[in-house]
Amino acid sequence: MTITSFQNPQSKPQINKHQNLSNWYYFIRNHISQGSPKEALLLYTQVRRKGLYCLAVVGPLVFKACASLSFVNFGEAVHAESIKGGVDCEVMVGTSLVDMYAKCGYVVDSRKLFDYMPERNVVTWNAMIGGYLRNKDTRSASILFEKMSVRNGVTWIEMIGGFAKDGDTITARQLFNRVPPELRNVVTWTVMVDGYTGNGEMEAAREFFEEMPQRNFFAWSSMISGYCKKGDVKEAKAIFDRIPVRNLVNWNSLISGYAQNGFCEEALEAFHEMLAEGFEPDEVSTVSVLSACSQLGLLVAGKEIHCMIHRKGIRFNVFVLNGLVDMYAKCGDLAVARLVFERIADKSTTCWNAIISGYATHGQCKEALEFFGRMENSNKMPDDITFLSVLSACAHGGFVDEGIEIFSKMEKYGLQASIKHYGCLVDLLGRVGRLKEAYDLIKRMPMKPNDTVWTAMLGACRVHLDMEMTEEIVKESTRNLNMVTANDSLYVLLSHIYAASDSWEKAERMRTFMVNQGLQKVPGCSSVMSR
């Protein structure tokens, strides 16, 4: 993306050639702090077009904006400008360049700059070490770390956090134990806690957490999120209840944890409790509560949240917009879902998935395929979820040839079909009576078929009263006892098939077998492939 494609800032300052450069530093810094790096780069470009040279002042900010956007080409252009201006060797400018190239994945170039710098400070060393760790080169980071003559708190935090994110919590803990007492503060402790929780090591995290001499709200939230990721919502709530003074981050951790684990009513209740305590929701709160509304199908509540976003001036970032599309689509208001969708300038894969899934779920299969076609023509790559939604739409709409063609496209996009994708294709073929093709597909699958696949196959046999294929599946079950689990959905289907074909003796035999095996029908339990 070039800088000319950026949208203008909402409140763009007038460019005055005689304006003090410190003002431009303030304007550019303000854009970055507000999460608008594109606007910061646009403003810098406008300043330069007016003939003002301010790279010595704002250079580090410009490179920071490039790093956050991964705009390495723009960064290289500004780097060349800094060389012409003779400021590339200044410590702050050079350090920001080292950081930018590393964050953009050009760690070799970053190291060349680091070695070229005539003067380096501890921030420069930290930037290079952080670059190695972000690119998962822990060996080079360790070598550089051991060469440092002076280390500060950030140095230790970079090393502990980097090894933890790489999954090596043992080395991370060893580094923590080496931190000098005067540098071991609440942030250092919190990084180690977050390292344990991020790797799902909740027992170690809990033990370490309880040893902390003091805790900040990040430590509390890390524990809440860690338990929620493990599905232990009860323990997450117990941690939350212990927080002496809560803030918005703590509330967001609990609400999002509830929503992610399907405790949607609890998520809504916690959200209202948060509002009652006087906290103003942000984008994170909004996305979580929209997810809860979509899972519960609460369109009215979702609309109220949408109004609240407008009323409170919450920023419509990509996550909020995706949440709105998903909520309206899952709740069946496809017109509004599409309206929100079409207004999104840069549609993410998640956004495309939400609209495609919405149309597929609510039976508008042709429209779902049209959106998939549009997605293919855009610059967004479909993922596993995209193909599941589209194949489901093909199955429910009877689009056999389209479904087979779409399934074959997975390899083109570098995706490997899972058991769910094969199940959708089996269901698609079975619905239109192409049972032999469906059965042959099951036999060719690279993985063992599960209950969902066999249920789809038997369901098709029942609809088309294909007793020959049914008997073949029964033989298969005899050869492979792991084909079925302890629930009786497959046996019930077999019983129904035998009854529908007047094979009452076989139907009764199947029912007797279920009774003898102690199998019971789970009320209200059905396959996603059921008709």
Which region among 288-292, 381-385, 427-431, 448-452 has the lowest average model confidence (pLDDT)? 448-452
Q: Which long-range contacts (CB under 8 A, 24 or more apart) does 307-311 make?
A: 308/281
pLDDT in tens, 388-423: 999 999 988 889 999 999 999 999 999 999 999 998
Token pair for 302: 């979702």
pLDDT-based confidence at 209, cuts 50/70/90?
very high
Residue 48's pLDDT is: 78
User: When comparing pLDDT for 50 and 339, which is higher?
Assistant: 339
Residue 97's pLDDT is: 95
User: When comparing pLDDT for 53 and 153, which is higher?
Assistant: 153
Task: Answer whether residue 516 shows pLDDT above 80.
Answer: no
| % of the chain residues with pLDDT over 70 | 84
CA distances 229 to 260, 264, 326, 520, Å, are: 8, 15, 22, 32
Q: Are 385 and 355 in contact (CB under 8 A)?
A: no
Residue 302's pLDDT is: 97
Which region among 12-26, 146-160, 301-315 has the lowest average model confidence (pLDDT)? 12-26
Under 8 Å CB-to-CB from 171, ≥6 apart: which residues? 138, 163
Q: What is the Cα–Cα distance from 438 to 453, expressed in whole angstroms?
A: 10
Q: Taking the domains of the chain in order of start, what are their residue ranges?
A: 1-88, 418-531
Q: What is the Cα–Cα distance from 48 to 54, expressed in whole angstroms?
A: 8
Mean local confidence (pLDDT), 211-220: 96
Which region among 40-54, 82-96, 334-348 has the lowest average model confidence (pLDDT)? 40-54
Task: Answer whether residue 485 shows pLDDT above 80.
Answer: no
Q: What is the Cα–Cα distance from 399 to 432, expressed in whole angstroms?
A: 9
Q: Are 323 and 357 in contact (CB under 8 A)?
A: no
Residue 512's pLDDT is: 55
pLDDT in tens, 78-105: 999 888 888 888 899 999 999 999 999 9
CA distances 397 to 111, 360, 363, 432, Å, are: 56, 9, 7, 10
Residue 6's pLDDT is: 29
Residue 461's pLDDT is: 79
Residue 1's pLDDT is: 32
Residue 505's pLDDT is: 52
Q: What is the Cα–Cα distance from 135 to 174, expressed in whole angstroms?
A: 21
Which region among 134-143, 344-353, 488-497 has the lowest average model confidence (pLDDT)? 488-497
Task: Answer whether residue 497 shows pLDDT above 70.
Answer: no
Task: Answer whether residue 5 shows pLDDT above 90.
Answer: no
3-state secondary structure 205-216: HHHHHHHCCCCC
3-state secondary structure 119-166: CCCHHHHHHHHHHHHHCCCHHHHHHHHHHCCCCCHHHHHHHHHHHHHC
Residue 92's pLDDT is: 92
Task: Answer whether residue 489 shows pLDDT above 60.
Answer: no
Q: Which amino acid is at 212?
A: M
Residue 389's pLDDT is: 93
Mean local confidence (pLDDT), 263-283: 96
Q: What is the Cα–Cα distance from 453 to 484, expressed in whole angstroms?
A: 11
- 45: closest CA among 94, 12, 87, 84? 12
User: When comparing pLDDT for 286 and 53, which is higher?
Assistant: 286
| % of the chain residues with pLDDT over 90 | 63
Residue 58's pLDDT is: 83
Residue 43's pLDDT is: 87
